[in-house]
Chain A
């Protein structure tokens, strides 16, 4: 079963945020992981209505161990720019950040489920 997480950018400051199940949080490691598409879609629908809080929420796929987004682009969103390791979310350091950095393999780099073409 493909794990998913819900992400968006915060309207007020553009910060990348994730749905934790209760709050919108800034670290991917605090994100709620959905292993069932129905609650994921429901959470997405709720998020889309929060038009003064969020811009453009969408679902992303997550590795089976839940440690990192699958796509390289989403990893950069979860970490920060690779030219300045001291900037962005990665500056917090710790095991969760290291796990994203160390994750292997990547699907199509846009990360958006709706754009991933599944083989027939």
Chain B
């Protein structure tokens, strides 16, 4: 087992929560609780009312799960939903066709495999997200997972922070390459080494997307690692007390930090931190070690760096060669690799997986992957520990289940929220737009030639599709009842974080894919070479040539 092994206390927490919610559902159905009283309670168990049914958002803590858990999710999708699930930009999984009356049973089924839907919605601390390559990447200062688990426990049912001004999202990265969008989180944490090699965190606060995007400010360059929980308590307390409660669009911590100024905010936090009883909050070393040890350590064989079998298979099969080129990432252990599984087959709904696909991935993880599966914020999955020797067999199986699309980070690897097809908050659909674009560039040689191009689509201003940090960001808006789309360029959710800038007037739905085509053609004509990514060309040249490419024909400049 690769995930944190729940002990009796952790399991009883889930069981007690599920039992409590069962009682709350019964009281809602009997009328003892009004919808107004019940809604925050069901949100704190991940249950939304969406367009067609209830949606249940199941937590995948810091994006890590094992085969047993993925199989359980597949079974739940069959037994209570319509045989599929949707992986989200916060590395959770959503089921879109849930009945309220089934929710208590589903929570029990989840608890049986140490899963839950705790605090995946509501004005509370949400799922902690972390680097999906944790434990596999060579450039990791420290594994973010044990710290993320410590944060999960600290934030679960925290009595002081259950009714915050607004939702609160934390991301943890252990690597200088940021695969968590840390800079656009309420709190982003980066593991670093300080003086004398001491382990600590860079603490970033006040990032966020939504109506008004912000990149977080570093309020503390180095926080000793053992002070993580007490320092975050100080941040949360300042936010809970001072965050705005009068306007939900101004209630996130990013607004508070911006209005106070990062330095003044940091001083408030430091002052609160100095006063609170750190020793009662921070975990003793023994507990930190216990958590770390409770993650099953990956067992690596001593292998040569190159695998002749893999090399031969690549040479013989161009499809495997392409998959290897695009979807494998370097592993710290010689002879191993990180396999990225794209849930973006052109024409399919981005981030969706059928029950059969989930079971296929579970089987691959169990047989070839140390039973370790990760979810990325780009709505894809990862097998972080696979022997190069085994990649051909893994790829063959992925292909069999439509999971072998070799498009990681390419133009067809699009992030799209469920949008107006499912979501009660949406103004426009995102999925058909993603499909249009992906179909246009489906030919693999074409996508390869374009190179890294991260397109992100949101169906409304809440930005669940992360359009603010897209190389091309697309925001669906409602113009007189028609679906229009605003294009933005130059965003990045990686360590070179930046917010995308609006390119020009919104375009109608059927013009989005042609506009993206025009942008890609402009890029291909302007880049210095294949090594210069779309984002780099945009940053070098600015918006003018791209604006002209999209709007010159349409006479809309």
Q: How far is the CB of B47 from chain A (nearest CB, A)?
A: 9
Dominant secondary structure at the B interface: mixed
Q: How far is the CB of A44 from chain B (nearest CB, A)?
A: 16
Q: How far is the CB of B333 from chain A (nearest CB, A)?
A: 39
Q: Give chain B interface residues in 347-365, CB to chain A under 8 Å.
A: 349
- B98 on the interface (CB 8 Å rule)? yes
How many chain A residues touch B (CB < 8 A): the figure is 30
Contacts of B421 in A (CB 8 A): 76, 81-83
- A52 on the interface (CB 8 Å rule)? yes
* B481 pairs with A55, CB closer than 8 A: no
Compute how far the CA of A95 lies from the CA of B491 in the bound complex, rounded to whole angstroms.
Answer: 46
- B179 on the interface (CB 8 Å rule)? no
* B432 pairs with A106, CB closer than 8 A: no
Q: How far is the CB of B72 from chain A (nearest CB, A)?
A: 22
* A109 pairs with B52, CB closer than 8 A: no
Q: Give chain A interface residues in 44-72, CB to chain B under 8 Å.
A: 51-52, 55-56, 70-72
Compute how far the CA of A76 lies from the CA of B459 in the bound complex, rounded to whole angstroms.
Answer: 14
Compute how far the CA of A44 lies from the CA of B241 in the bound complex, rounded to whole angstroms.
Answer: 40
Residue of A with least CB distance to B348: A83
Within the complex, which residue of A11, A87, A109 is in contact with B478, where a contact is CB–CB below 8 Å?
A109
Within the complex, which residue of B28, B52, B432, B482 is in contact with A14, where a contact is CB–CB below 8 Å?
B52
- B49 on the interface (CB 8 Å rule)? yes
Q: Total A-B residue pairs with C-beta atoms closer than 8 Å?
A: 86
Q: Give chain A interface residues in 70-109, CB to chain B under 8 Å.
A: 70-73, 76-77, 80-84, 87-88, 105-109
Contacts of B34 in A (CB 8 A): 51
- A16 on the interface (CB 8 Å rule)? yes
- B526 on the interface (CB 8 Å rule)? no
Known contacts A73-B420, A106-B482, A12 near B52 by CB under 8 Å: no
Q: How far is the CB of A32 from chain B (nearest CB, A)?
A: 22
Chosen A-B contacts, 7 in total, with CB atoms closer than 8 Å, are A55-B35, A56-B35, A72-B482, A73-B51, A76-B421, A81-B431, A109-B481
Chain A residues near B (Cβ < 8 Å): 9, 11-16, 51-52, 55-56, 70-73, 76-77, 80-84, 87-88, 105-110
Known: A14-B100, A56-B35; 7 extra A-B contacts, CB below 8 A, are A13-B100, A14-B98, A73-B51, A84-B349, A105-B481, A106-B482, A110-B478
